[in-house]
Chain A
Amino acid sequence: MSAPVHAPRPDEAVTRDLLAFLQRRTRTQVAADVDLFGSGLVSSMFALELVVHLETAFGVEVCGPDLRLDNFRTVEAMTALVSRLRGGGDG
């Protein structure tokens, strides 16, 4: 009765979704550990779109002290943020 072998871990699904969102919106393929700000891919408008996307796609609220640059610097960091806000991380 265990989960199917192919089911991705929730974190992997988040990472995949974010990479797809970034690619759709910036037309650039990025790796999960790329510094998005160093790369110049994220404008102020897109940064806000990212926050709204995280909230809507994963049913979390990104507010107050969670709005730190380090939480958005890479797809890995955003994945960890979502995981923590869902209560599944090491928060």
Chain B
Amino acid sequence: MAETTLPAQPVSPVRPVSPVRPVTAAAAMLTDVVGDRADGWDRDGRLPLDLVRGLARDGLLCPEVAAEYGGPGLSAVEAGELTARAGSLCSSLRSLMTSQGMAAWTVRRFGSRAQRAEHLPRLVSGTLAAVAFSEPDAGSDLSAMSTRIEVAGGTATVTGSKKWITGAAYADVLLVFGRYGDGAAAMLVPATAAGVTIDPVPDALGCRAAGHAHVRLDGVRAPADHVLAGTGLPLDWLVTSALTHGRLSVAWGCVGILRGCLGVASRHARTRQQFGKPLAQHQLVGAHLAELLVSEQAATRLCEHASRCWDAGTPELVAAAVAAKHLAAGAAVRGAASAVQILGSAGAVDGHLVARAYRDAKLMEIIEGSNEICRLLLAEHAMAVWS
């Protein structure tokens, strides 16, 4: 028993080697499974379903779902880090995380105890979800939604038309928002139910492999308990809760876009020589890199702040998520444009990381509250808090 005779280890002031944090391991796993394939997925307009389902089975598409439901139970800050990693690799895949995360959060918030116990374990064990808000006549103005959910006897029925639903082409279940009585409700609709038609959006500008689709619901029936229990709130309340989660996710995704661009652009500027010296030594190129760096840091800080508010349950989280999304989306658009500029012809090819970033980032200024809607919300908040 030689071990027992060893002197006790002195307490080290430096932390000993700690086990790898779950989020670090998950991020490394994402990097590994995506590898160099995102370019091809973008050109094909399709992610491999087995890969997506595998990530869903590991709970990585909605990593905040608590351990009591079989989820990874990451904090909002940790989930943000993971989302940023996905965003740096493939914004299409990250978009699916945003959808699955919103679906899980909405079930968590608006589901009854029984509904949470039934549906959350599914969302972390392979079931793929899409969230259906927008309609042909209800984009930024979601209050114009006309989809109607009705419950009679033990059956819920939903009729309506949804547009540009991220992930719908892959989804097993659609979380459909609609009018319900005088208020609103969200209903879980199996994608295979009779009356569901899913038409993929061809040739999307960005996030081309995110499975965007238009969804028609013609008198689709499901058991009444597929309507989440928190019914009868005003539509904009219900939607704001889900969108706040989505905005934070999109914001972290934009941080990822900036990180991806920063890496590729910096490496290119170091190795590519023109006029007898590396691009980085040309000051106008250096200026692009400097702005990219500051953008990534600013976006990260706002995202961290919003996620910490989320974890601490601070009401400020609502406005902080809008601010983070607004800043990060604009920063990603400008940053991606700079990265394409630095790469020049090397990046001006469909599928290339900076070409994808350029197209994907633009969509981030539109979804989950356009720039304009974000500004309206932030102005309203400014008036409430600062006037």
A residues with a Cβ closer than 8 A to B are 25-27, 37, 43-53, 55-56, 63-69
Known: A52-B318, A56-B312, A64-B112. A69 touches B232 (CB 8 A): yes
A63 touching B318 by the CB < 8 A rule?
A: no
A67 touching B380 by the CB < 8 A rule?
A: no
- Minimum CB–CB distance for B253 against chain A, Å: 21
A63 touching B111 by the CB < 8 A rule?
A: yes
A68 touching B315 by the CB < 8 A rule?
A: no
Known: A56-B314, A63-B110. A45 touches B319 (CB 8 A): yes
B317 touching A52 by the CB < 8 A rule?
A: yes
A69 touching B314 by the CB < 8 A rule?
A: no
Q: A45-B380, A48-B318, A68-B231 are in contact. List 15 more A-B contacts (CB 8 A).
A: A45-B240, A45-B318, A45-B381, A55-B313, A56-B312, A56-B314, A63-B110, A64-B110, A64-B113, A64-B115, A64-B230, A65-B112, A65-B230, A66-B230, A69-B183
- Minimum CB–CB distance for B76 against chain A, Å: 12
9 interchain pairs (CB within 8 A)? A25-B315, A43-B380, A46-B384, A49-B315, A50-B315, A52-B318, A56-B312, A64-B110, A69-B234
Interface of A is mostly: helix
Report which of A45, A46, A55, A69 forms a contact with B233, defined as CB distance below 8 A.
Answer: A69
Residue from B110, B230, B385 with most neighbouring chain A CB atoms (10 Å): B230
- Minimum CB–CB distance for A68 against chain B, Å: 5
- Minimum CB–CB distance for B117 against chain A, Å: 11
Known: A45-B318, A48-B318, A63-B109. A25 touches B384 (CB 8 A): yes
User: Once the chains are docked, how many angstroms separate the CA of A45 from the CA of B108?
Assistant: 19
B residues with a Cβ closer than 8 A to A are 108-113, 115-116, 183, 228-234, 236-237, 239-241, 244, 312-319, 322, 377, 380-381, 384-385, 387
- Minimum CB–CB distance for A75 against chain B, Å: 16
Contacts of B239 in A (CB 8 A): 44
B380 touching A64 by the CB < 8 A rule?
A: no
Contacts of B385 in A (CB 8 A): 25
Which are the 6 A-B pairs with shortest beta-carbon distances? Answer: A67-B230, A56-B313, A49-B315, A44-B236, A64-B229, A44-B240
The residue in chain A whose Cβ has the minimal distance to the Cβ of B385 is A25
Known: A45-B318, A64-B229, A65-B112. A52 touches B313 (CB 8 A): yes
- Minimum CB–CB distance for A70 against chain B, Å: 8
Contacts of A67 in B (CB 8 A): 109-110, 230, 233
Known: A52-B315, A56-B313, A65-B112. A45 touches B377 (CB 8 A): yes
Contacts of B112 in A (CB 8 A): 64-65
